[in-house]
Amino acid sequence: MKDKVVIITGASSGIGLACAREFAHRGALVSVCARSADKLEEIKSEFDAAGHKLLVTEADVSREEDCKRLIDNTVREFGKIDILINNAGMSMRALFIDLHLDVMRKLMDINFWGTVYCTKYALPYILEQKGSVVGVSSIAGFIGLPGRAGYSASKYAMHGFLNTLRVENLRKGLHVLIVAPGFTASNIRKTALTADGSAQGETPRNENKMMSAEEVALRIIKAIQKRKRTLILTFVEGKLTVFLSKWLPALVDKLSYNVMAKEPDSPFK
């Protein structure tokens, strides 16, 4: 990864920040974005102190003009783009019947359109390098996750977009990777939206028993180096679930329902 130019969206915490640190440690030139200017400044200070080159851009990926500015800033600073990691994302927890549709639109704007906007403006530069476009998705992009209708819909849409992008550029050397981390210790559940669009605040799951963001970042980098097309992490909640969904979909429906219904304060009654 020495001197590779890497863009990471949603890099103020969790998987995005872990990826930024690991890429920088390996000698990459890293460009990150997030909505919080304060967090970006903290991260910039951390990287500067460690002697790592980091470019920060305050941006909301649901806004096309912000995504274009992120790409323009990166090319202006580093002259190229080798890897784009579409990591910015938001989750939710509510039954669809109770869900305000504005919540679903917000998830689509961030999770799906944020990926589309950033990829659209970065793609010409990535093709020049025969580089990688990465989408940090979820198991919810492979199975319909109950209580997460907007989240699953946005991740299914991301998969369709990235899989098509891969086929369209089959002869141009483009690498496209879809990552499904499974449940990862991060703040995505704390910021998840409820039925009315308010933040959930407290995670309903035991974060200590989940894969760490740092481990996910290491796996992502290895998958990029091997130019894998799909990276599904964790065994039971990840690989086994996706496998069974192809052969025993009705069983997976029941198991998914039962697992989600057992969460504290579950919307299932």
Residue 258's alpha-carbon distances to 113, 147, 252, 263, in angstroms, are 31, 12, 10, 9
Q: What's the pLDDT tens digit per position in 30-85?
A: 999 999 999 999 999 999 999 998 999 999 999 999 999 999 999 999 999 999 99
Contact call for residues 30 and 53 (beta carbons, < 8 A): yes
Residue 237 maps to a domain: yes
Question: Does residue 79 form part of some domain?
Answer: yes
Q: Is residue 162 part of a domain?
A: yes
The answer on pLDDT for 206 being more than 70 is no
Average pLDDT of the residues in 114-125: 98
- The answer to whether residue 195 is domain-embedded is yes
Give the strands of the sheet with 54-58, arranged side by side: 54-58, 29-34, 5-8, 83-86, 132-136, 175-180, 230-232
Indicate whether 268 belongs to any domain: no
Separation of first and last alpha carbons in the chain: 49
Considering the domain boundaries, does residue 269 fall inside one?
Answer: no
Residue 59 is assigned to a structural domain of this protein? yes
Name the residue range of residue 253's domain.
Answer: 5-261
pLDDT single digits (tens) 209-219: 678 999 999 99
Residue 39's CATH number? 3.40.50.720
Q: What is the CA radius of gyration of the chain?
A: 18
What is the predicted pLDDT for the residue at 195? Answer: 86
User: Total domain count for the chain?
Assistant: 1
pTM of the model: 0.90
Nearest to 17 by CA among 37, 34, 35, 38: 34
Exactly one of 117, 151, 156, 257 is catalytic; name it. 151
With 70 as the cut, is the pLDDT of residue 114 above it?
yes
Instruction: Respond yes or no: is residue 125 known to be catalytic.
Output: no
Here the tokens at position 184 are 């990862």
68 or 237, greater pLDDT = 68
Q: Is residue 266 part of a domain?
A: no
Q: Are 92 and 145 in contact (CB under 8 A)?
A: no
14 within 8 A of 216, measured Cβ to Cβ: no
| Secondary structure (3-state) at 86 | strand
pLDDT tens column, 157-187? 999 999 999 999 999 999 999 999 977 665 5
